[in-house]
Structure 1
Amino acid sequence: MPFVKRTWRNSISFKVLLAYVVGVGLSILLIALGVLALVTSKSDILLTTDVAERTHELAGKLQFDATGRPNGFDSSEGDRVWTFDSLGREIGHRVLDSTGNVVLTSTDATFWSSVASNPPSQQPRFKFEREGIVMYAATAAVEHQGKTWYLQFAASERLMDLLHGGFALPFMGAGIALFSLVLLFVFGACAYFTLGYTLKPLREVSESAAAISPRSLHSRLQVKTVPSEVEPLVTSFNQALARLERGYRVQQEFLATAAHELKTPLALIRAQIELMQDSHAHNALLDDVAHMTRQVQQLLLLTEASEVQNYSFATVEIADVAREACGYLQRMAEAVDVRLVLVDETPEGGQWQADRSALFTLLKNLLENAIQHAPRGTEVRMHVSAGALRVRDWGPGVDREQLPHLFTRFWRGPHRRDHGAGLGLTICQEIARAHGWMLSAKRAEPGLLFELSWP
């Protein structure tokens, strides 16, 4: 049974990777929007937070003289101290004692003139206006030799906006872009190879399941390598296979047993008929017994052909087996005035791997079927080549609607000369399948053509 063709949209790998890409895209979009909102925000919370962080950073760098009074900052901060001179209108700092007296400042008194006179300990974060410009400031306490000093740092709103919007945004945009590429490609590659590694056991199980046929029902799918989520499904499939195998074996055993059990009574009936005096009844009954015996024999052949372990494969010359089958049926063909023609086009070494007796049975049945349908005075031709074998007659053939039924058990065509059981072509199909060959039939106009070939 062929598998239903599935599109790539139904692939688990595609759906997982698509979900990954969508998730990464949404994550990047949310991060970018969040960063953009923070960078471009005019809120007091953002600006005062930045100023407070800078204030505590400066407080950690504050230095004192021998008397314990603040006198500057650590030299490692020198790269940044110049900003207080160059940007004196935009940023500034000062150090106050516990009473609010200024002991160190980077600006003149007018810079802080609009600051409320509250004790510095009560001004952790605050803002004021200087010459119409909003200034954001914060206070950090510094303990030294039992005294508490308060460092205050202030920066203008427009400077913060410039730093955030003019300088930080491009760098943050580049960082987000780089992070996005790394996330997409590195994690995407990891997801791709992880999916391939995870789904590999499923592909192997699918291939094993596709290879199971009525002749290999004893096979089972491997459970150890499949993901734990799929293991119950594979186990259930194996249990279904076990039930199918038992049913198939019971059917085959029944056919074999029934055929064997019928052979002995038929032999006894034949012996009793031969002792009868009435010649007319005698001949009719003998014909019936012969017909039943042929059916029993074909049932046995069908049972044997359905079991691959009954075959013994070896290298055989296909042309030799074809000549043997033609010779075997020569008398039958002459009796109905049909000419058997063998066309051998096999080069030296036209050899097939086959069970010789099964191949002989297959060719014999094909020829016998053709002889039974061929009109008197015509021929049945067997054409043998290295990769295929064809048997054709010039009889009435079959309708197109009947072609699918040719290999059905007990189906018989309307132009036969004998009273066969309708199992000959079924046996041929079973033998072909066991060998991995392809047996097909088509209208030859006139007649019927059977072709046996490699798949």
Structure 2
Amino acid sequence: MSLNSLRLKVLMAYVAGMVLSITLLVIAAVVVVQSNVLARMDLADAAEGLADDVEFDSNGRPVGFDSRRLDDLAWLFEGPQRETAYWILDDTGNVAVFSGTEEEFWPAGGDLLWLGRGNFTFEHEGNTFYGVTEPLEHAGRTWYLQFAASARFVDLLHRAAFPLVVTGVAIFGSVLFVAFGLCAYITLRYTLKPLRDVSESAAAISPRSINARLKTEAVPTEIAPLVDSFNRALERLERGYRVQQEFLGNAAHELKTPLTLIRAQIELTEGGKNDRGALLSDVEYMTRQVQQLLHLAEVSETHNYHFAVVPMQEVALEVVSYLERMAEAADVRLAVRAVGDVKWKADRAACFTLLKNLLENAIQHAPAKTAVSVEIQGETVTVRDRGHGVEVEQLPLLSERFWRSAHRRDHGAGLGLSICQEIASAHGWRLTAERAEPGLRFRLSMGRGSLPLDSQGGSDA
């Protein structure tokens, strides 16, 4: 496994977590053993257990512990070297029963402040004793069992228990490390297997099998969105690939016709017949097609754009000035109307090309003595002619490459609107076409996504 392996990183994180956990357990055990916190907890547990074994006489007074319990624990409270002791007090502090015969073991007077569940410490014959009070109820009265053990006795017990605790932690940690480590390795192995399968499937995809998709059934839920995104990227690639294939086929077909005509013209020239004008017309037509094909390929690449703040009215006036001779030849008037100072973030040259193609298309379809208008307002730019327009069922064809309507005056390549669509998509704009009755209206509007050239029916006066 390489250092960048996900499996290795997860296993290393697991090992680090286990080592840190065991280290913290050992440190916590050492701190607890060396402090009196554990001693007080042990005493509290011992007192609670003793309270359950207290026996009472017929008058409801405590007389000691269950004989079987006392037999097991009597050695703790006997001998001249007192290390443990107990007594039972009533709610006024009077002693009812005590261990051994040395009531003087306890501090004189029996401090009533001890009569409540809790811990206390006192000195006896130069030794420190830890004590704990445990209340118990019997026959409607409350009694208080107090149990004490010397600090040295508790320390001895803890010192004897500490190696056992460390050994237990080590054994438990080792077993946990091996068991969970093996489970983690097996789990990662089988969890990452679908990813290896998906990787092999992705590596097998080629232009000949671009329609293939990666399966997400066995992929982990966290990785499935990534595989879905990859499949969507494949769909876009396939769509683009198909479009390019179709584009190349159409381009070859479109170029084949003028080449055939040029060949025929040359053959007629060799036979003594010469039509220089027709030959030049065919060459000009093919030149225009090649130029538009190159332009279409250029605007299809987003990295060719240089975005800046562009005054749309200024660009529209430049386009009108550029197409003025073409409009005069067609006897068509061009008009620009802007509401306010409209500025868009765009590539200025691309905006010029887009508006030029829309206006050229409008001029080609506009009848003589009519106007082609450009209206700029806020987030919308519209271009309208008053020609024959197109039928509703032909509106979707406007976005197709090499498609030409029947009312054009020239013999263009049919790529102008496709170039407009590519520019709009690169800017995230929306380009729509609608019947205007009479004529046709193209509407360019700002938007967040790149939307295709759609068509919508309807009319307005």
TM-score by length of 2: 0.51
Determine if the alignment matches structure 1 residue 95 to structure 2 residue 88: yes
SS at structure 1 position matched to 2:30: helix
Instruction: Specify the SS of the correspondent of 1:199.
Output: helix
> Paired residue for 1:183, among 173, 176, 188?
176
Which residue, out of 155, 158, 171, partners 1:164?
Answer: 158
The answer as to 2:60 corresponding to 1:68 is yes
Distance 2:62 2:99 in 1: 13
Change (3 A) 1:274 1:27: same
Matching of residues 3-402 of structure 1 within 5 Å: 8-41=2-35, 43=36, 45-77=37-69, 78-85=71-78, 89-109=82-102, 111-119=104-112, 121=115, 124-165=118-159, 167-253=160-246, 262=256
Secondary structure at 1:108 match in 2: coil
Distance verdict in 2 for CA 1:55–1:239, change over 3 Å: closer
SS at match of 1:9: coil
Which residue identity is paired with 1:142? Answer: L
Q: In structure 2, what is the Cα distance between the partners aligned to 1:96 and 1:61?
A: 16
2: CA distance, partners of 1:115 / 1:12: 70
Shift in CA distance, 115/57, structure 1 to aligned 2, threshold 3 Å: farther
Quick one: structure 1 residues 230 and 92, their matched pair in 2 at CA, closer, same or farther if it must change by over 3 Å? same
The more displaced of 241-250 and 174-183 is 241-250
* Equivalent residue letter for 2:41: T
CA contact (8 A) 1:111 1:130 kept: no
- The code of the aligned residue for 1:65 comes to D
CA distance in structure 2 between the aligned counterparts of 1:123 and 1:231, rounded to whole angstroms:
58
Name the CA distance, whole Å, in 2 between partners of 1:91 and 1:197: 59
Indicate conservation of the 8 Å contact 2:40/2:119, yes or no. Answer: yes
| Alpha-carbon distance in structure 1 between the residues aligned to 2:214 and 2:80 | 77
The residue aligned with 1:417 is none
How big is each residue's C-alpha offset from its partner over 1:26-49, in whole Å with a ceiling of 9 and x where there is no partner? Answer: 1111111011100122x4x44333
TM-score (norm 1): 0.52
Task: Give the direction of change, closer, same or farther, for the CA distance of 1:265–1:176 in structure 2 (3 Å limit).
Answer: same
Identity of aligned residues (%): 48
2:48 & 2:153 partners in 1: Cα distance? 19
Aligned length: 269
Offset of 1:169 from its aligned partner?
Answer: 0.6
* Shift in CA distance, 191/234, structure 1 to aligned 2, threshold 3 Å: same
Instruction: Output the amino acid matched with 2:230.
Output: F
Contact kept in structure 2, 1:88 and 1:107, CA below 8 Å = no
Distance 1:143 1:245, change over 3 A: closer
Instruction: State the Cα distance separating 1:139 from its structure 2 match.
Output: 2.3
Contact 1:91 1:156 (8 Å CA) reproduced: yes
State the 4+ residue runs in structure 1 displaced beyond 4 angstroms: 250-270, 272-278
What is the alpha-carbon distance in structure 2 between the residues aligned to residue 76 and residue 110 of structure 1?
A: 24
| 1:90 counterpart letter in structure 2 | E
Per the TM alignment, residue 21 of structure 1 is displaced from its structure 2 partner at its CA by 1.3
Long gaps (5+) in structure 2: 273-461
The CA RMSD measured in Å over matched residues stands at: 3.3
The 3 A distance-change label for structure 1 pair 115 and 162 is farther
Q: What secondary structure, in the 3-state scheme, does the structure 1 residue paired with 2:115 have?
A: helix
